[in-house]
């Protein structure tokens, strides 16, 4: 089967019936890694997204409501992050599309690099990091999804505590260091592509959200849902360092002080992944510009 880029590149353009996904693929108004963009578009244009997703969503939201009632009485019972991550791994390996799996694994790399860039370039702080760089789906079994959320909150707490303790404001170092940002593809192995690997990303997220709620403590689940609105916070840090705030207009998950309804977590997670990809691509562009300037000065 052709890869996502090849599928879109081979799409024939009919002026009387233009392909919307081809139009979005060719559009360059928003920076994004080409492979990730193609994977997103092939995933959202799949039959799974068109026909299965509308059937899945009502049932998963019903289970979220039922589990929420259950958590009122037993908020920290029936919890097992170990089992949760292995159930997710099995589902991803045997049923989720290779494009969706690639985006999931990429997201862990991107999240780590965004925090790494901010930590490296904020003046007067030394923030501890716990980068997540999975190469395979099997690597996700090591509590990676839970740790991804913990990393974001711990980073924000440690960064701002150091700024407060040192009596300084958030500001960039004199010269930005883009070393934490990878310009190119990540070290990720090919994803499974069997007969049953057809489920799209948002359908998979919808199915996993009730499991997330069931097998995590009530605190862990709510923290994970609310972390999606930290897209705005992380974007503000990065763009303030760069000195270009225009990217903020592309962020959809905003205002973390006012939490969103947990029933929409799956769609917000899709927006979260897209925002992270775009912010990373924005920094890659800046890295290339810096390199061109340095080469011209030599």
Residues 121-130 have pLDDT tens digits of 999 999 999 9
Residues 143-192 have pLDDT tens digits of 999 999 999 999 999 999 999 999 999 999 999 999 999 999 999 999 99
User: Looking at the domain assignment, is residue 16 inside a domain?
Assistant: no
Count of the separate structural domains present in the chain? 1
User: Looking at the domain assignment, is residue 230 inside a domain?
Assistant: yes
User: Among 110, 134, 106, which residue's Cα sits nearest to residue 43?
Assistant: 106
The dihedral through the CA atoms of 191, 192, 198, 204 has a sign that is negative
Residue carrying the six token digits 């705030």: 245
3-state secondary structure of 4: helix
Model's pTM, two decimal places?
0.95
The dihedral through the CA atoms of 126, 129, 131, 104 has a sign that is negative
Residues 142-151 have pLDDT tens digits of 999 999 999 9
Please tell me the predicted confidence (pLDDT) of residue 78.
82
Residues 48-69 have pLDDT tens digits of 999 999 999 999 999 999 998 9
Residues 24-51 have pLDDT tens digits of 999 999 999 999 999 999 999 999 999 9
The span from the CA of 232 to the CA of 256, in Å, is 8
Please tell me the predicted confidence (pLDDT) of residue 2.
62
User: Looking at the domain assignment, is residue 32 inside a domain?
Assistant: no
CB-based contacts of 266, cutoff 8 Å, min separation 6: 57, 60, 202, 205, 206, 209
Domain containing 272 equals: 47-297
Given pLDDT bands bounded at 50, 70 and 90, which one contains residue 294?
Answer: confident
Alpha-carbon torsion angle 5, 33, 54, 60, nearest 10: 130
Over residues 185-203, the mean pLDDT reads 96
What phi and psi, each to the nearest 5 degrees, are found at residue 29? -70, -25
With beta carbons less than 8 A apart as the criterion, state whether 256 and 229 touch: yes
């Amino acid at each position: 089967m052709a890869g996502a880029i090849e599928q879109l590149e081979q799409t024939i353009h009919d002026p009387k019936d233009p392909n919307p996904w081809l139009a979005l693929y060719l559009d360059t108004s928003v920076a994004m890694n080409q492979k990730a963009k193609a994977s997103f578009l092939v995933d959202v244009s799949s039959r799974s997204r068109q026909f299965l997703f509308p059937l899945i969503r009502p049932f998963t939201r019903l289970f979220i409501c039922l589990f929420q009632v259950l958590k009122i009485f037993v908020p920290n019972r029936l919890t097992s992050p170990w089992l949760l991550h292995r159930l997710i791994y099995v589902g991803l390996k045997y049923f989720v599309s290779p494009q969706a799996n690639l985006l999931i694994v990429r997201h862990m790399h991107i999240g780590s690099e965004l925090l790494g860039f901010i930590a490296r370039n904020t003046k007067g702080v030394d923030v501890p990091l716990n980068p997540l760089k999975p190469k395979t789906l099997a690597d996700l079994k090591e509590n990676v999804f839970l740790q991804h959320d913990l990393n974001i909150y711990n980073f924000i707490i440690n960064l701002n505590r150091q700024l407060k303790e040192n009596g300084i404001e958030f500001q960039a170092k004199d010269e930005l260091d883009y070393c934490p940002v990878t310009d190119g593809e990540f070290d990720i192995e090919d994803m499974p592509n069997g007969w049953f690997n057809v489920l799209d990303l948002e359908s998979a997220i919808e199915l996993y959200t009730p499991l997330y709620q069931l097998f995590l403590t009530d605190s862990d689940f709510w923290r994970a849902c609310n972390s999606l609105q930290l897209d705005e916070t992380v974007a503000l840090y990065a763009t303030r360092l760069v000195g270009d705030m225009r990217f903020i207009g592309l962020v959809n998950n905003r205002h973390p002080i006012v939490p969103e309804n947990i029933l929409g977590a799956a769609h917000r997670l899709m927006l979260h992944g897209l925002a992270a990809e775009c912010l990373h691509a924005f920094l890659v562009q800046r890295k290339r510009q810096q390199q061109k300037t340095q080469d011209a000065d030599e």
